[in-house]
Amino acid sequence: MSFNEAQTEAIHHKEGPLLIIAGPGSGKTTVIVNRTKNLIEEHHIDPRKILVVTFTKSAAEEMGIRFQKLCLEEEDPDQYTGVHFGTIHSICFQILVSYFGYDYSQLIQENEKYRILYALAKQYDFASLDYNKFIADIAKAIGYIKNCDGKDINYSKFDVSEYQVKKMMKGYQEVLEKEHKIDFDDMLLRCRDNLKKHEDVLADVQETFHYIMIDEFQDTNNVQAEIFNMIAEKRKNICVVGDDDQSLYRFRGAKPEIMLDFEKTYPKTKKVVLNINYRSDRNIVAASKKFIEYNKTRFPKDIKSFHKRRYKIQLLQLPNDKEQNTWIIKKINELYKKGVPYSEMAVIYRTNRESKTVIDQLVKKDIPFQAKIEDVINIYNHFIFNDILNFMELAKGSKSMARWTRALKRPTAYIPNDAFKECKSLDDLKQWGFDHGKPYIKKNIEAVERKIRKLKVLDFKKQVGYIKRTLNYEEGLISYAEYKGEDETLLLEILDDLEEDSKECNSMKEWQQRAKEYTATIKRTVSIDEEKDAVNLTTMHGSKGLEYQVVFMIDVNEGITPYEKAETVPELEEERRMFYVGMTRAKERLFIISTDQFRGKDTVPSDYYYELQNILEKKES
């Protein structure tokens, strides 16, 4: 196998710190496995002394398989046996088990973690109507705090309040201690702390691993970096591989600055830049290079394409998201007829809420597709959809007290919880108000009753809008979000989406059937099968590490990308890196699409759209 000059330099580096800056499609995995082989083959390093750390379990397994295949080509493949491939979590847990008496029964599983958090949320009366989202947000916040070692936490970035996070985290940790359990993030903290306290154990670990190679180093957090540096401290044989331009996990505590400062941590570092992109067309490489250079906190690098081919990058500005999806479907069919497999096409978006209208069109046109569960959103599984159906059932004449209780709580009719607990009917509620000196309760209930009676006679296409505005449901959502310490933005977006979606149907029954079919479709498609010929749907985050012949980047509009919540320079630079990752997934054709309207509201193209327009115009001139 032949290597370019930079790859050869990295593969043959023996001792001392090595920083490999690997641009998109530059063959970093090839370099890692061949350097590992070279250390054993040329320098006679005991394979058991080599540690290769990857970001995910699947990446570790894939790296190990590639290394095995490479070594099977040799006369004596057994001489390469013993290299450690694993994630930082697996390595840390192995240390805890081997030296500090931990066992696998102490490691809490995700379902156990959610069980504890659910019980605590119920106990503290948090998020009483949407436990799933609340618990997911809390779990994310706890993980972030642990990954940051509890330092420099900006609680305003969470979708739950600081009070809720701190109270839930305190309760969660108390339960873990009581049950003698640790979670995945605790593994790293316990390992780091124990290695600091026990010099003899650290010395033994240093003797176990003489050479350390770390993949995806741009996504390392402070706790992980401390562990790596302790293990490598004695010999300094640490090799880190990554691309600062593809660091996307600041929200999990990752700090690209750790990679950027590597040469300060290890002054004798040898730096190698893998700057040949073997994946993408020359125009894609050139445009993405200019685009990412708007970021200032980065390693300068001159990425070049290995290929001579040139496909034109297409920027399109379409009237609305419906027209956008119609155009995409037409182009997918056109390319498929020309011989491009569905599996070589991907639709990439900033957040999973942009996935729904694309999925609708793919289903209508019977085009196979696939996605990971976290990369799509099902608005029909949300409590807002069920709230809306609840109003509609009441309009049809339901007398259910459970339904009336739900309707009178959001938007609030200012009825105390004790009244709902004590009363079995609306008449009971009205009487309760008089008995307790609150005559306004009867007036409020009757006002809601009048509005719901009017809902019954409205054309179905207008009913969600009526619930939203006349029944003050939108206002109720805002109050609910404020009370629960949650971000109202996503709730209002889902309500808007449901209003637009309902206009596609003629009755409640038809809408429910649409929801049922959509939910069934999502269940069938939320898994990735590499053998399946299906269009890929993914967020920019989810696209990392993947590649396709054709990429459609959709909804490139202001407020969507860069995401409207990104405010600080580090956050805005990460948004640009995300878009860069999306662009560099494309091997041949790249379509970047903006719309004049999004979900029925006027919008304008993202700054990214105009920047790329300018980049492409300059290139052509």
User: 3-state SS of 372-386?
Assistant: CHHHCCCHHHCHHHH
CB 39 within 8 A of CB 211: yes
DSSP notation for 286-350: HHHHHHHTT-SSS-----EES-------EEEEEEEHHHHHHHHHHHHHHHHHTT--GGGEEEEES
Beta bridge partners of 21: 242, 273
CB 526 within 8 A of CB 364: no
Ramachandran angles phi, psi of 348, nearest 5°: -115, 135
User: What letter represents residue 284's amino acid?
Assistant: I
Residue 396: is it exposed, middle or buried by C-beta count within 10 angstroms (0-12/13-18/19+)? exposed
Q: Which two tokens stand for residue 611?
A: 């920047």
Rg of the chain in Å (alpha carbons)? 28
Find the farthest-apart pair of alpha carbons in the chain and give their distance in angstroms, rounded. Answer: 93
Residues sharing a CB contact under 8 Å with residue 50, sequence separation 6 or more, in sequence order? 36, 39, 40, 83, 84, 209, 210, 211, 213
Q: Which residues of 518-557 are buried (b: 16+ CB within 10 A; e: fewer)?
A: beebbeebbeeeeeeebbbbbbbbbbbbebbbbbbbbbbb
Q: Which two tokens stand for residue 596?
A: 């004049």
DSSP 108: P
**Distance in angstroms between the alpha carbons of the first and the last residue of the chain:** 39
- How many Å apart are CA 8 and CA 397, to the nearest integer? 76
Residues sharing a CB contact under 8 Å with residue 509, sequence separation 6 or more, in sequence order? none
Binding residues for ATP: 22-29
Beta bridge partners of 595: 318
Q: Which two tokens stand for residue 205?
A: 């670990």
E strand or H helix that includes residue 51: strand 50-54
Q: Cα–Cα–Cα angle for 523, 525, 526, nearest 5°? A: 75
Q: Is the dihedral angle over the CA atoms 121, 123, 127, 130 positive or is it negative?
A: positive
Ramachandran angles phi, psi of 234, nearest 5°: -70, -45
Binding residues: 22-29
Neighbour tally for 169: CB within 10 Å: 18
CB 226 within 8 A of CB 192: yes
Ramachandran angles phi, psi of 224, nearest 5°: -60, -45
User: What letter represents residue 265's amino acid?
Assistant: T
Residue 190: is it exposed, middle or buried by C-beta count within 10 angstroms (0-12/13-18/19+)? middle
